Structure 1
Amino acid sequence: MKNFYEEGRDMLTKKGCIPFNLNIITRTYIAKDFDLESSDVESYTKYLEFEIYEHQLRSKYKEEQDVTSSYGNEKVNNIVQTYFLQIIRLLENAYLKYRVAKLNFAQISLLLYFIFTFSPINVFCQNDFINSKITALQIGDTIPNTLWQLPIKVINHPNGRDTIKLSDYRDKGILLNFISSGCKGCIEALPELERIISFYDDDIVLIPVTMEKHDRMSSFFNQNEYTKNSKLTVITDDRILKELFIHRYISHVVWIDKEGIVHSFSNTAHIQDFTIADFLAGNTKSWPVKHEFTSFYESPIVSRTYKTEHLPNNEFKQLKYIAFTGYLDGVGAYYATSLDTLEGVERISIRNVSLLDLGLISTGLGLFKRGSVLKQDSSSWKVLNSGKYAFELYTGKNLTRDQWYQLHAVSYERTIPLGTSNADKYKLMIEDIKTFLGIDVIVKGDGLFFYEF
């Protein structure tokens, strides 16, 4: 705690922050009541120190002409208002039951220091908490100069360096691969990705990126069986890149060309020899893009418009429909049901799945049977091309997994009366597949069979 206090104080002094007094008495409390233990004090103060330092780091490397985040003052003030007022309430409660909490004076002093120094209303730091904005970069955007020059913490650098700048690789294409040590698939994919990239050392670099701390990731990387022999330089302690390239799920790959232009967002499975060749040639416009924050990500395929839903005579009336379509860009791939008790319907929604998965869901076998069905002899299916039913059955070499789904995935949605039994639900779904897709799905024992007609 002593080092943390001194480092925080020194940082503020160097940054030119001018503290003013905060009148706690007149402040309106908005935080909930909490019980304060010593661990709470440390966690809250460390969190606040980190958030403020992060914002100052962003401000330090921004250029006035660059608009790189919607973070800025609004974000910092929201953090400060929410968490500082919680700390004030924690402190107030601690005073009321000081002996019970066993809170030592040094910790209270530390809390007071942060409260009086970082009041959202009464803090002014020269050239820092003013006009700082960072917005997420999209496909077609160019990396701002400040990002090229931003010092970034790394591990496993070939020259033993602890920091790099993206400008160190400005003569190459850059693939930023957002991962986590807790993501098994992310880590297991790295050796193969490194092998593929090794053939393009002069033209492209793969850089894994994680929010995890430098020391922790260094220890993990040196001990894990998939990474202990890796030569990849890994960015750690990341807080900036994740804001510039927002995503919900990892791994998440950002493709940046030699000119600093963002070309695509993808999964790691999209990194293949032929996609790298396309990328280096600038042929990425037709690629499937990993979208996770569209306004319609979890919306129904079919819905009334907002205006028609709110006309008095349309409210609470059942919307009955059956819909099939191909791959939908920008929607979530999931199987979900939605119950509407007012309209008396259940909406079944299946997005961007293979025909095999659609068959497993619609027959009630479930996706847990996927592996056993894939082990079947698919030649017994009466279909023209089993490679259209699952990526694992595709024998070609010119499509990545994402590209295969873009070409062959289906989306299906329908409403059924609320309370319909599962058996009747599956009958309806199988009948829909037969009617609209011309495919019959039959269960024999634990096996699943497809017949086209």
Structure 2
Amino acid sequence: MMSNKLFKIITISVLAIAGFGTGLIQTVNGQEIGDKLPDLKIKGPFIMGNEKSTVADLYQKGGLIINFWATWCSPCLKEQKRLDSLTQIYPDLSVLSVTYEDISGVKAHFARAGLPKSKSMIITTNDTIFHNAFKHRAIPHNIWIDKAGIIKASTGGDEINEKNIKEFLKGNTSKLHIKKDRLDFSFTKTYHVPDSMILFRSYITGYNEEITSGVNFGPDENGEFKRLFAWNRPIIQFFWLAFTKQKNSRMNWKLIELDSSDSIRFIQTYFNRPLFERSKYTNGDDLVTRERKWDYDNLYCYELILPKNIPASKSSEYMLPDLEKFFNIKASTRKKKMMTNVVSLDKSKLSKLPVAKGEKPFIDKFYDSLIVKSTSIDDILDCLMERFTDDTPYVNKTGYNGLLSFEIKSEKGKLTLEEVWAKLNGFGIKKVEKKHLYEILVLKDLSHPNKI
């Protein structure tokens, strides 16, 4: 059984400004929030305000908000109007509103919109000093400085409201939402985030010789899953997991129909040595080198992470679209008449069935035993197909929908399939080899079609 954790990813849309360096906003000119503001000079050109003011003059009145804005930023303009009103209500609050834009464009903007009325606001243009000191990526952007000159917070525009201003002037900024800008983010580059942030992911990579090979799959006790991971596995493995609804990882070639003129890329070298020796990998190198070349060309890693548990019966719905597109393979199923093990139940032995008594569902085969708890006959047969080497598929004709619990321990050492069936026969569960229609997986290689 597989246990999964829920991962989360959060996507945020912002108004972005490029070109103001790298780093995170928690660091301000080498200082952390909570440090003393350096003595930065307020330089023009000034649009409004006392040109002789210093930052100390401003924050010592009661508190200072350094407001970064631009004329093209609609949320900034709304915020500036709020700041104009709030500084008239709370005159101890000072606002230094700075923009990187040229004075001519800013003057044209205020000629249309009108200047703020507050006497506690200073507006400057062509700014580099404060933009360099308080690097950010998105606007509106605000730095909150208390009356002692301590950097208390960096926020967006949503925090500019009367309730927060009142608390700020009382010395309380604990409820302000701190704005964090990832300055090295670039939409032209691959987006890397910690795995713990990922909500949904479906990806395929090439062979990685630095890790092992394996599969982490399978439904939980409720028949659901939200993560599947197969690493350094052949292409056909991924389609097989989808086809079997993650009940089996051991590929049964009797149940796979492959239509490709380049079948070597699907079949691992040790499964069909003659095919490998007739392939393009016969180039005079030693066997190990040629097998390694095959691995690099034909093994892949595939991971699927879902936002919530879904029934494993829907595996193909989530897996096949990406697999088909990437590998250019069309997957389908069809019924084929073939030799099967038809399983029936002797109704006269119903009393001998080891009916489950509410145990937690579990099934697994060990070296010398098979342990079954609260498991259906279908799942028992799937386990036998997975854990033993008999590739003849089972057809369940028992008509029994209940759950069984039992344990089989070998008296000879390693548990054999014959010992398992001897025990099942005692329960009245029998199998007979018989031809029967059975669903198989059909893979059509669109990149390497067979020549007719």
Q: If the length of structure 1 is used for normalisation, what is the TM-score?
A: 0.37
> Which entry has the higher C-alpha Rg, 1 or 2?
2
Normalised by the length of structure 2, the TM-score is 0.37
Higher relative contact order (CA 8 A, sep 6+): 2
Greater helix content: 1
Q: Which has the higher strand share?
A: 2
